[in-house]
Chains A and B, each alone.
Chain A
Protein backbone atom coordinates (compact mmCIF):
# COMPACT_ATOMS: atom_id res chain seq x y z
CA UNK A 1 0.00 0.00 0.00
CA UNK A 2 0.84 3.67 -0.04
CA UNK A 3 3.27 5.11 2.49
CA UNK A 4 3.50 8.85 3.08
CA UNK A 5 6.38 10.43 4.96
CA UNK A 6 6.10 14.01 6.18
CA UNK A 7 8.79 16.36 7.50
CA UNK A 8 9.39 18.19 9.71
CA UNK A 9 7.19 17.10 12.60
CA UNK A 10 7.46 20.55 14.14
CA UNK A 11 8.18 23.86 12.46
CA UNK A 12 8.59 27.14 14.28
CA UNK A 13 8.81 30.42 12.34
CA UNK A 14 8.53 34.13 12.95
CA UNK A 15 5.52 35.99 11.63
CA UNK A 16 6.16 37.05 8.07
CA UNK A 17 8.61 34.25 7.31
CA UNK A 18 7.90 31.43 4.88
CA UNK A 19 7.19 27.85 5.93
CA UNK A 20 7.79 24.73 3.87
CA UNK A 21 6.51 21.26 4.67
CA UNK A 22 7.64 18.29 2.61
CA UNK A 23 6.08 14.92 1.92
CA UNK A 24 7.18 11.86 -0.01
CA UNK A 25 5.02 9.01 -1.21
CA UNK A 26 5.80 5.49 -2.27
CA UNK A 27 3.13 4.48 -4.78
CA UNK A 28 3.76 5.93 -8.23
CA UNK A 29 0.09 5.30 -9.07
CA UNK A 30 -1.02 8.01 -6.61
CA UNK A 31 -2.33 10.99 -8.52
CA UNK A 32 -4.13 13.21 -6.02
CA UNK A 33 -2.39 15.05 -3.19
CA UNK A 34 -4.48 17.12 -0.76
CA UNK A 35 -3.26 19.15 2.18
CA UNK A 36 -5.30 19.58 5.33
CA UNK A 37 -5.05 22.08 8.16
CA UNK A 38 -6.22 21.02 11.60
CA UNK A 39 -6.56 23.47 14.44
CA UNK A 40 -6.50 22.14 17.97
CA UNK A 41 -9.58 20.04 18.73
CA UNK A 42 -11.15 20.73 15.35
CA UNK A 43 -11.69 18.87 12.14
CA UNK A 44 -9.09 18.78 9.37
CA UNK A 45 -9.94 21.24 6.62
CA UNK A 46 -8.82 20.89 3.03
CA UNK A 47 -6.72 23.93 2.17
CA UNK A 48 -5.24 23.04 -1.19
CA UNK A 49 -4.75 20.03 -3.41
CA UNK A 50 -2.83 19.10 -6.52
CA UNK A 51 -3.24 16.46 -9.17
CA UNK A 52 -0.41 14.65 -10.84
CA UNK A 53 -0.93 16.35 -14.17
CA UNK A 54 0.35 19.67 -12.81
CA UNK A 55 3.59 20.61 -11.11
CA UNK A 56 2.47 23.59 -9.06
CA UNK A 57 -0.69 25.18 -7.75
CA UNK A 58 -1.10 28.44 -5.91
CA UNK A 59 -3.86 29.98 -3.81
CA UNK A 60 -2.94 33.37 -2.33
CA UNK A 61 -0.24 32.71 0.31
CA UNK A 62 -0.36 28.94 -0.10
CA UNK A 63 1.28 26.93 -2.85
CA UNK A 64 1.92 23.27 -3.44
CA UNK A 65 4.54 21.76 -5.71
CA UNK A 66 4.74 18.22 -7.00
CA UNK A 67 7.68 16.27 -8.37
CA UNK A 68 6.28 13.04 -9.78
CA UNK A 69 9.68 11.66 -10.72
CA UNK A 70 11.03 12.01 -7.20
CA UNK A 71 7.63 11.26 -5.67
CA UNK A 72 7.58 14.21 -3.38
CA UNK A 73 5.35 17.21 -2.89
CA UNK A 74 5.61 20.27 -0.71
CA UNK A 75 3.41 22.90 0.90
CA UNK A 76 4.69 26.46 0.88
CA UNK A 77 3.16 29.17 3.06
CA UNK A 78 4.46 32.70 2.52
CA UNK A 79 4.09 35.71 4.82
CA UNK A 80 3.02 33.49 7.69
CA UNK A 81 0.60 34.82 10.27
CA UNK A 82 -0.16 33.62 13.82
CA UNK A 83 -3.48 32.22 12.60
CA UNK A 84 -1.55 29.86 10.34
CA UNK A 85 -0.47 28.01 13.49
CA UNK A 86 -1.99 24.51 13.27
CA UNK A 87 -1.15 20.95 12.36
CA UNK A 88 -0.83 20.36 8.63
CA UNK A 89 -1.32 16.94 7.06
CA UNK A 90 -0.37 15.90 3.58
CA UNK A 91 -2.06 12.94 1.92
CA UNK A 92 -1.80 10.84 -1.19
CA UNK A 93 -4.40 8.74 -2.88
CA UNK A 94 -4.44 6.01 -5.49
CA UNK A 95 -6.28 6.53 -8.74
CA UNK A 96 -9.68 4.99 -9.21
CA UNK A 97 -13.03 5.19 -7.49
CA UNK A 98 -11.97 3.94 -4.08
CA UNK A 99 -10.35 7.13 -2.91
CA UNK A 100 -8.97 6.60 0.58
CA UNK A 101 -6.13 9.00 1.28
CA UNK A 102 -3.05 7.91 3.19
CA UNK A 103 -2.04 10.69 5.56
CA UNK A 104 1.38 11.86 6.61
CA UNK A 105 2.15 12.10 10.31
CA UNK A 106 1.49 15.81 10.42
CA UNK A 107 3.54 18.96 10.96
CA UNK A 108 2.86 21.25 13.87
CA UNK A 109 3.44 24.78 12.58
CA UNK A 110 3.95 27.50 15.15
CA UNK A 111 4.05 31.09 13.96
CA UNK A 112 5.44 33.46 16.57
CA UNK A 113 4.10 37.03 16.48
Chain B
Protein backbone atom coordinates (compact mmCIF):
# COMPACT_ATOMS: atom_id res chain seq x y z
CA UNK B 1 0.00 0.00 0.00
CA UNK B 2 0.83 3.74 -0.09
CA UNK B 3 2.26 3.87 -3.62
CA UNK B 4 3.19 7.20 -5.18
CA UNK B 5 3.88 7.40 -8.89
CA UNK B 6 5.84 10.26 -10.46
CA UNK B 7 6.25 11.07 -14.13
CA UNK B 8 8.34 11.62 -16.09
CA UNK B 9 11.36 9.99 -14.50
CA UNK B 10 13.66 12.19 -16.53
CA UNK B 11 13.25 15.10 -18.92
CA UNK B 12 15.55 17.29 -20.97
CA UNK B 13 14.24 20.64 -22.08
CA UNK B 14 15.50 23.81 -23.68
CA UNK B 15 15.96 27.03 -21.75
CA UNK B 16 12.80 29.11 -21.69
CA UNK B 17 10.39 26.22 -22.02
CA UNK B 18 8.09 24.83 -19.33
CA UNK B 19 8.05 21.33 -17.90
CA UNK B 20 5.23 19.61 -16.04
CA UNK B 21 5.84 16.86 -13.51
CA UNK B 22 3.02 14.68 -12.23
CA UNK B 23 2.69 13.04 -8.86
CA UNK B 24 -0.06 10.50 -8.30
CA UNK B 25 -1.14 8.55 -5.26
CA UNK B 26 -2.18 5.20 -6.71
CA UNK B 27 -3.89 3.39 -3.87
CA UNK B 28 -4.91 6.13 -1.48
CA UNK B 29 -6.23 9.66 -1.44
CA UNK B 30 -3.85 12.46 -0.53
CA UNK B 31 -5.23 15.81 0.53
CA UNK B 32 -1.66 16.96 0.94
CA UNK B 33 1.36 16.28 -1.21
CA UNK B 34 4.86 17.66 -0.91
CA UNK B 35 7.41 18.71 -3.51
CA UNK B 36 11.13 18.48 -2.83
CA UNK B 37 14.20 19.45 -4.75
CA UNK B 38 17.48 17.62 -4.36
CA UNK B 39 20.85 18.69 -5.69
CA UNK B 40 23.60 16.10 -6.17
CA UNK B 41 24.89 14.75 -2.87
CA UNK B 42 22.62 17.04 -0.92
CA UNK B 43 19.55 16.67 1.22
CA UNK B 44 15.89 16.94 0.34
CA UNK B 45 14.78 20.55 0.37
CA UNK B 46 11.07 21.11 0.77
CA UNK B 47 9.82 23.48 -1.92
CA UNK B 48 6.11 23.56 -1.26
CA UNK B 49 3.14 21.81 0.24
CA UNK B 50 0.41 21.06 -2.25
CA UNK B 51 -3.12 21.24 -0.86
CA UNK B 52 -6.03 19.66 -2.69
CA UNK B 53 -8.52 22.28 -3.80
CA UNK B 54 -6.54 25.25 -2.52
CA UNK B 55 -3.34 27.15 -3.10
CA UNK B 56 0.01 25.58 -2.41
CA UNK B 57 2.11 26.73 0.51
CA UNK B 58 5.60 27.65 -0.63
CA UNK B 59 8.75 27.58 1.47
CA UNK B 60 10.75 30.74 1.89
CA UNK B 61 12.86 31.50 -1.15
CA UNK B 62 10.84 29.41 -3.59
CA UNK B 63 9.33 31.44 -6.43
CA UNK B 64 5.66 30.56 -6.68
CA UNK B 65 5.38 32.05 -10.15
CA UNK B 66 8.20 29.87 -11.39
CA UNK B 67 7.17 26.64 -9.73
CA UNK B 68 3.45 26.34 -10.34
CA UNK B 69 1.67 23.71 -8.29
CA UNK B 70 -1.80 22.39 -8.95
CA UNK B 71 -3.58 19.81 -6.79
CA UNK B 72 -6.91 19.47 -8.53
CA UNK B 73 -7.84 16.03 -7.22
CA UNK B 74 -7.18 13.83 -4.23
CA UNK B 75 -4.77 11.68 -6.23
CA UNK B 76 -2.88 14.12 -8.45
CA UNK B 77 -0.55 17.03 -7.91
CA UNK B 78 1.47 18.67 -10.67
CA UNK B 79 4.57 20.83 -10.54
CA UNK B 80 5.26 23.01 -13.56
CA UNK B 81 8.67 24.58 -13.90
CA UNK B 82 8.04 27.64 -16.02
CA UNK B 83 10.61 29.34 -18.22
CA UNK B 84 13.21 26.82 -17.17
CA UNK B 85 16.87 27.78 -16.95
CA UNK B 86 19.96 25.60 -16.52
CA UNK B 87 20.07 26.43 -12.81
CA UNK B 88 16.69 24.72 -12.46
CA UNK B 89 18.32 21.43 -13.39
CA UNK B 90 17.84 19.16 -10.41
CA UNK B 91 16.15 16.06 -9.05
CA UNK B 92 12.54 16.79 -8.10
CA UNK B 93 10.71 14.39 -5.79
CA UNK B 94 7.15 14.43 -4.58
CA UNK B 95 5.75 12.70 -1.55
CA UNK B 96 2.38 12.07 -0.04
CA UNK B 97 0.95 10.81 3.19
CA UNK B 98 -1.67 8.13 3.44
CA UNK B 99 -3.74 9.51 6.29
CA UNK B 100 -5.16 6.12 7.05
CA UNK B 101 -1.64 5.04 7.96
CA UNK B 102 -0.82 8.13 9.94
CA UNK B 103 2.76 9.35 9.85
CA UNK B 104 4.09 6.03 8.70
CA UNK B 105 2.40 6.53 5.35
CA UNK B 106 4.83 9.17 4.11
CA UNK B 107 5.85 7.81 0.71
CA UNK B 108 8.06 9.29 -1.98
CA UNK B 109 7.60 9.28 -5.72
CA UNK B 110 10.39 7.93 -7.88
CA UNK B 111 11.70 11.39 -8.69
CA UNK B 112 12.20 13.37 -11.88
CA UNK B 113 15.63 14.26 -13.18
CA UNK B 114 15.27 17.61 -14.96
CA UNK B 115 18.05 18.82 -17.22
CA UNK B 116 17.71 22.24 -18.83
CA UNK B 117 20.02 22.86 -21.76
Contacts and interface: CB of A to CB of B under 8 A. Distances in A.
Interface string B41-63: 11110100100000000000000
Contacts of B91: 41
A106 B104 contact: no
A99 B98 CA distance: 11
Nearest to B34: A100
B8 to A, nearest CB: 14
Interface string A81-113: 000000101000100000111011110100000
A95 B92 CA distance: 26
Interface residues of B, number: 19
Interface in B67-108: 91, 93, 97, 103-104, 106-108
A49 B104 contact: yes
B41 A108 contact: yes
Given A42-B111, A49-B104, A105 B34 contact: no
B106 A101 contact: yes
A101 B91 CA distance: 19
* Interface-central residue, A89, A106, A108, by most chain B CB under 10 Å: A106
Given A41-B113, A89-B43, A101-B106, 17 more contacts: A34-B106, A42-B111, A44-B93, A44-B108, A45-B108, A46-B104, A49-B104, A87-B41, A89-B44, A93-B103, A99-B97, A99-B103, A100-B34, A100-B46, A100-B49, A105-B43, A106-B41
10 contacts: A41-B113, A43-B111, A45-B108, A46-B104, A93-B103, A99-B103, A100-B34, A100-B49, A106-B42, A106-B43
Interface of B: 34, 41-44, 46, 49, 91, 93, 97, 103-104, 106-111, 113
